[in-house]
Amino acid sequence: MVVDDIAFKTLTDPTGKANKGRAFGGWATFDEVPNKSYARNQLAITAEMKPNIGYVVEVEITKPINAKIGIVGPQDAVKGGGNQLHFFVTAADRSEVFRYITGSGKVLP
């Protein structure tokens, strides 16, 4: 899952005051995400959707949920072509479903 620095900070919060479930998005990919360019172009995460895409994290899905799996379609000027999952889980319910895999965070060059 591609996240910004605010979400990554929340996922790794040491204070116990952050709700980590709120940091997850509703989309993910099975693809290896090597850099921001791949995220912007192949995954079509446009700046309008997510202004900052600094990190990629691995996420465990802790209970069965519905998701739509397919090829990323074009968005505006980018052509897509990567693979995506779209989870049918509202933002308010994501804390019950997703878990950040510790140590998986990578900075996207």
Partner 1 sequence: MNAKLKVRDFTMHGTSGLSILHDKWVNWVIEHQNEKGFSPENNYGLGRISHHSWFVNNDKFEISNEQWIYSYVLPDATGFIGFEQNRWENDNCVLFDVYGKERTRLTVPWQLTRQLNPKSAKPPTSFNNISDPYINPENGKQGVFGVTAWVEYAGKYYFELDYHTGTFLWGTEIRD
Residue of 77, 90, 83, 108 lying closest to 28 (CA atoms): 83
Q: What 3-state class would DSSP assign to 86?
A: strand
Stretch that binds partner 1, among 29-37, 62-70, 76-84, 100-108 (CB under 8 A): 100-108
**Dihedrals phi, psi of 97, to nearest 5 degrees:** -115, -35
Q: What is the dihedral of CA 63, 65, 70, 74, to 10 degrees?
A: -110
Stretch that binds partner 1, among 34-42, 44-52, 61-69, 76-84 (CB under 8 A): 44-52
Per-residue x/- marks for partner 1, 62-91, CB under 8 A? ----------------------------xx
- Site residues for partner 1 per CB under 8 A: 4-10, 12-19, 22-23, 25-27, 47-52, 55, 90-92, 102-103, 105-107
